[in-house]
Amino acid sequence: MEMKLTFLNAGDAFAFEQGHNSAFLEFDNTNLVIDFPATNRAALRKLGMDLGDVENVFITHLHEDHINGIQQFAYFNKFVTGRKPNLYIAEDLVDGLWETVRQGLLYGVGALHTIDDYFVVKKLKPGHGFFIDDIEFGIVKTQHFDGMSSYGLLAKKYFYFSGDSLVDYDFLTKIHPFVQTIFHDVHLKEIEIPVHASVRDIKKLPQEIQDKIVIMHYHDEYVDKKNRERFEKEKNVQIAYALQQFVF
């Protein structure tokens, strides 16, 4: 089955010239958005869609730049489309997500609301697969901040999407024969950032794995096409950019 992945945006937490990192998957007459920053709506509009066209959402972790569009997304569908999108989320993130958006979504017309009034919540267990139509996905525990739950998304035969994560060398070595592309958080700065992967980190991987990596979640210096392409050539890497599409 064919799948298309479009980067809605590829920016890091402090991106201004580009939106925050998020991807839009299309397959088997449905779709899935990975993370939901507020910058998603403008990107969807550029694709000829709006918030009401998103059927499924997967959340990698609870940092603000990955979930600050959830409240608007929830309200839009409750009051404009009248439907509940599916929310795929690790079971240990559900309460934290609700606490983050609760004060904005709690008060309804004539009643107090819960997260279930806005979404069909699909609680996921790490290490267990789940299906959306005929596509099987898996959530992968990742290392971002100490003590913070964060997850990548694996779609065998298609891709692995790391979310915000350090490089897990053993895991990437294990799964790379089974995916076409590895979308990985890499910060692109010369300094060391202990909660994001660096180019130096991915250069420690075997070349056959490096060849599958597409860099995402980076700062605004490389929004400029000339800067981005120069960096790609110098470092022999591939960098995702807003509205770029990958077809599997």
For the stretch 107-126, pLDDT in tens is 888 889 999 999 999 999 98
Query: Of 28, 36, 23, nearest to 77 (Cα)?
Result: 36
Query: Of 199, 203, 150, 158, nearest to 182 (Cα)?
Result: 158
Distance CA 5, CA 214 (A): 12
Each domain of the chain, given as residue ranges in start order, spans: 3-247
Q: Which CATH architecture has domain 3-247?
A: 4-Layer Sandwich (3.60)
Cα-flanking dihedrals φ and ψ of residue 160, to 5°?
Answer: -125, 135
Per residue in 27-85, pLDDT tens?
Answer: 999 999 999 999 999 999 999 999 999 999 999 999 999 999 999 999 999 999 999 99
pTM attached to this predicted model: 0.95
